[in-house]
Amino acid sequence: MCAASVLGDETMAGNDKLVGVIGGMGPGATVDFMSRVLAETPAEEDQQHVRMVVEHNPRIPSRQLAMRGGGENPGPVMAAMAHRLESAGADFLVMPCNVAHAWQGDIEAAISIPFVSIVEESVRSAVDCSGDNSALGLMTTPGCFTAGLYQRALAETGRPIITQTSDELTETMSLVERIKGGDRSHEVSDGLRSLADQLVGRGARVLIAACTEFPLVLSGSMFDVAFVSSTDVLARKTVALALGKE
């Protein structure tokens, strides 16, 4: 796991901010994100933890289906959620779902507060994990890959990028759907790990886990290269901003 705490031992002292979370994509990933925010917070009592207002809405139309040109556009739903979170007092917004960032423009058009991009933060973390010109391996879902979110952000780094094949993306999505269905078995974990190892075998020295379902069955300890969990990256950034450390 490539992770370094962005906080010292200090806790918040009146300058904390209220985090708005656009959640439900998927439900397990949102709960996992919140638990990682708690784990990243240097708190010794309830009152020192990060304040969050969460709209956990699993009824948001399928992002994967929308990226394939079918189904309902999820953008307006996410924009409405963002507006409600701002109205509820949120100082900034986060969204623990990677492919949903394809509709970031809809969200930002509906609010006047900052929106923190999981894509930008994860790419920055991946670059920081390797001080040289190491190749970055992108492990994601078909919808996120089609949207080109990470490819564009990674291209700006000038680093070599190793991506999954079409067959690997299809297999990845099949395993992600099993996780969304509650299957966190060794079979699912081993399947995703094998797919990640294929990127390593093709030269990746940093793995970007660009799906918030991945950390439900994968961890950095499974790999010999740096493993950048987009969930962990967003959790650390959220804590830093909420506690006024950035």
Active site residues: 97, 211
What is the gyration radius of the CA atoms in the chain, in angstroms? 17
Sheet holding 52-56, edge to edge: 52-56, 19-23, 92-94
Determine the distance from the C-alpha atom of residue 63 to the mean position of all C-alpha atoms in its chain, rounded to a whole number. 14
Tokens of 230: 């987009």
* Count of CB atoms situated within 10 Å of the CB of 39: 11
Phi and psi for 218 in degrees, rounded to 5? -120, 150
Distance CA 53, CA 219 (A): 27
Q: Pick from 231, 243, 245, 168: which is nearest to 204 by CA?
A: 168
Sheet holding 206-209, edge to edge: 161-162, 136-139, 206-209, 226-229
Distance CA 42, CA 17 (A): 15
Integer CA distances (angstroms), 115 to 28, 109, 121, 156, in order: 22, 11, 12, 20
Q: Which residue has the tokens 């002292």?
A: 13
* C-beta of residue 163 within 8 angstroms of C-beta of residue 234: no
CB-count exposure of residue 44 (10 Å: 0-12, 13-18, 19+): exposed
